[in-house]
Amino acid sequence: MSFDIAAALADLKDLLPPEVVVTDPDVTVAYSRDMAMLAPSEQPAAVVHARSTEDVVAVIKTAAQHGVPVHPRGAGSGLAGSSNATRDSIVLSLARMNEILEINTANRYARVQPGVVNLDFRKALEPHGLFYPPDPSSYDWCTLGGNLSTNAGGLCCVKYGVTTDFVMGLEVVLADGEVLRTGRRTVKGVAGYDLARVFVGAEGTLGVITEATLMLRPLPEPPATLVASFTDLYHAGAAVQAIIDAGLVPSLLEIMDGTAIAAVEAKHHMGLDLGTKALLLAQSDSGGDRAEREMAGIERACQDAGASELHRTDDAEEGSMLLFARRQALPALEALKGGSLVDDVAVPRSRMAEFLSGCEQIGVDTDTVIGTCGHAGDGNMHPTICFTPGDDAEYERAKVAFGQILDLGLSMGGTITGEHGVGSIKQDFLAKEIGELGLRVHRQIKQALDPQGILNPGKVF
C-alpha cells in the first residue's frame, strides 16, 4: 500500500474537529520526542489529540488505509525514545483521554483512560481507602497509558511489583482499527492466552491502549522511614543483601551514590553530607508491630554493615521530605551540566555494589560524570551520564559510557531495562540480551498484529 500523508490528513480533518488535528509546525515540533536525549527523532506531520476510543479508531483506520506511521504518546516523560516521532508521521496524543471511568470498591479495581496522571489517580483513590502501588519517579506528571506501554515500575516495586502485576484487562485499538477487549474483572481467571500482558510493555508497537482495568490494594499505613549513610558502596550493598537475607520486604528500598547526593545538595541545599558515598533509604508501610519489626531489622542490617549514620522516623511528613532527595536525583544530575543520558539496568541484587563500582570506573575510563540512583530492593539501577549540550566530544564520550554500562549489566546476568523500555536507543543491546531466536519471535508477533508496520515503527527492535 502506498504511503500518502497528505491524503491521510485530509481524511482526518473531515472526520475529526479542527482543534483535534494539529498540523502547525510550531506546535508539532514539541511532540517530536520524549525525555531521552540520546534517542533520534523527527518532526511529525501532525498531532491528533484523541478524546475517545472512537477518535483513536478513526486515526488508526485512516493511517492503515494510507500506510502512514502512528506514534502513540502520553505525557512525553519516557526515557528511552519510545514515543519519538518519525518524518511524515502522526503523533497520537492520548493525554486528553484522562477520565477515571470507575472505582469499584467492592472488587478493588478501577477502569481508567490512558491519559490519567499517575499521581492524580492515587489521590482519587485515597478517599475510598484504596491504593495503586506503581509509582515511577515522574509519577506527578507521567500518565497511566505510558506506564502501561513501558511496564513502568517505581520506588515501591520491591514490595508491590511493576505495572503488569496490576493489570486485569485492557481495551486496545489494533493496527486495523478493530477494538480488542481482553482480560477480566475477577481475582482469578485463566481463560485463553493472557493477551492483556502482550500489550503491556510493548511500547505502542502492537496496539494503542485506550482503557485499562487496574487492580487496587487497600490503602497502606503511613510509612516509617529510615535513612542510612555509608562511606563505601560495598557496605551499602552488604546492607541490602542482609535485608533480603533476613526475609524483610520493605515497601521501598532505594540507593543513591555520592555523585547523586552531591547533585541533589547542589540544587536543593538540603544539608546532605557530601562525604557520604552511598545513601540507603527504606520505608515500611505495614503499620503497627509488623512495621516496627521490619524497621528494626533494616536498622540492624545497616548497623552491622557499617553505616556511618542512621536516622529513623515514624513521621510520614518527615519521611516524604527525606524521600524528596531520592525523587529529585535524576533532575539534579541533569542540572549538573545541562544534559544527561539516563540508563536503566537491572542486575542481580547480590552484584549491585559491584555494578555501582563498575559504573564509577566507566566514568573514569570515559572521562565522564556518572551519578547513580536506583531501586536497591530489586537491583534496578539508573546510572546517569552528565554532559554539556553542544559539547560534541563530551556527548560522544557519554554515548560510549551509556553502552559500556549496558554491557556491564549484561555481563553480570542483568537486563538492559528494568522499567524504561527499549525504545529507540537500545535495540542493539536487546539483540545481545534475547538472541536471534528471541528477536525472531518478537518479529513474528509484530507481523501478526501489525503487518503494515505502522504502529510506532523504529521502536524496540
The band of 250, judged by pLDDT with boundaries at 50, 70 and 90, is very high
Q: What percent of the chain has pLDDT over 90?
A: 92
How far, in Å, CA of 127 to CA of 302, rounded? 36
- All CATH 3.30.465.10 domain ranges of the chain, comma separated, are 100-218
In this prediction, residues 43-68 reach a mean pLDDT of: 98
- 5-93 CATH, one of 3.30.43.10, 3.30.1330.40, 3.40.50.720, 3.40.190.10: 3.30.43.10
Q: Does the structure show a pLDDT above 90 at 302?
A: yes
* Helix ranges (DSSP H) in 110-257: 118-125, 144-150, 157-160, 196-199, 233-245
Residue 82 and residue 424: Cα distance in Å, rounded? Answer: 6
User: 253, 376 in Cβ contact below 8 A?
Assistant: yes
What are the strands of the beta sheet with 208-215, ordered from one edge?
A: 100-104, 109-112, 208-215, 167-173, 179-183
CA atoms within 13 A on the CB side of 394: 15
Whether residue 73 is predicted with pLDDT greater than 80 in this model: the reply is: yes
Helix (H, G, I), strand (E, B) or coil at 374: strand
Rounded CA-CA distance 287/285 in Å is 6
Q: Mean pLDDT, to the nearest integer, of 263-276?
A: 94
Minimal CA–CA distance to 155: which of 34, 369, 351, 328? 328
* CA atoms of 11 and 15, how far apart (whole Å): 6
Section 53-62 average pLDDT:
98
Residues in the chain: 461
Q: How far apart are CA 417 and CA 430, in angstroms?
A: 9
* Res. 186 pLDDT band, cuts 50 70 90: confident
Residues 6+ apart with CB under 8 A from 311: 226, 227, 322
The helix, strand and coil proportions of the chain, stated in percent and rounded to the nearest 5, come to 40, 20, 40
Q: What percent of the chain has pLDDT over 70?
A: 100
C-alpha distances out from residue 280 to 94, 226, 238, Å = 37, 8, 11
For residue 1, pLDDT beyond 70: no
Q: Which superfamily does CATH assign the domain made up of 224-411 to?
A: FAD-linked oxidase, cap domain/gating helix (3.40.462.40)
C-alpha cell at 333: 544530575
Q: List phi, psi (to 5°) of 259.
A: -65, -40
The per-residue pLDDT for 156 is 87
As given in the structure block, the three cell numbers for residue 13 are 480533518
DSSP strand E in 357-452: where? 369-375, 380-387
- Residue 440: count other Cβ atoms within 10 Å of its Cβ: 12
Among 368, 370, 344, 398, residue whose Cα is nearest residue 263? 370
pTM: 0.94
| Mean pLDDT within 175-191 | 93
pLDDT in tens, 114-163: 999 999 999 999 999 999 999 888 889 999 999 999 999 988 889 999 99
Task: Report pLDDT for 2.
Answer: 65
Residues of the chain with CATH 3.30.43.10: 5-93
- What CATH number belongs to 100-218? 3.30.465.10
Asked if the model's pLDDT at residue 197 lies above 60, the reply is yes
Backbone angles phi, psi at 213, to 5 degrees: -105, 115
pLDDT in tens, 327-376: 899 999 999 999 999 999 999 999 999 999 999 999 999 999 999 999 99
pLDDT in the model for residue 137: 84
Question: CATH 3.40.462.40: which residues of the chain?
Answer: 224-411
